[in-house]
Amino acid sequence: MSSNEVKGLKLFVREAHCIDCHSGPLFTNREFHNTGVPQTLRSVGRLAGIGELRHDEFNFLGRYSDPKPAECAMQFLPLASDRLRGAFKPPSLRNVTRRAP
């Protein structure tokens, strides 16, 4: 590896902590993370998705669901959380040079 590649690897693994979210064979851990980047009103991340899920008529608590509400994992989803505001799944870094940001 060239000296620049070694520097980049050290940055990726150590100082920048990229590997915390971009790990594994797909370079993503598929978990939600808030990177601290200021969000617009429309891009609130996972928090918006939870709201949509709670109001969907086909969710586990909806009239079309067979399980009882106590058996539904949705009861553990937070209604509001600053930790989830702006949280997104990190995109895979596979073939990142071959696609637009």
- pTM, two decimals, is 0.53
For 46-83, write each residue's pLDDT tens digit: 666 777 777 788 887 778 878 777 777 766 666 666 66
Q: What is the pLDDT of residue 38?
A: 66
Q: How far is 55 from 2, CA to CA, in rounded Å?
A: 53
**pLDDT of 14 over the 70 cut:** yes
Cα(30)–Cα(36) distance, integer angstroms: 18
CA distances from 18 to 54, 69, 70, 71 (A): 32, 39, 38, 37
What residues contact residue 47 under an 8 Å CB cut-off, 6+ apart?
A: 80, 81, 84, 85, 86, 87
The 10s digit of each residue's pLDDT in 20-37 is 889 888 898 888 777 776
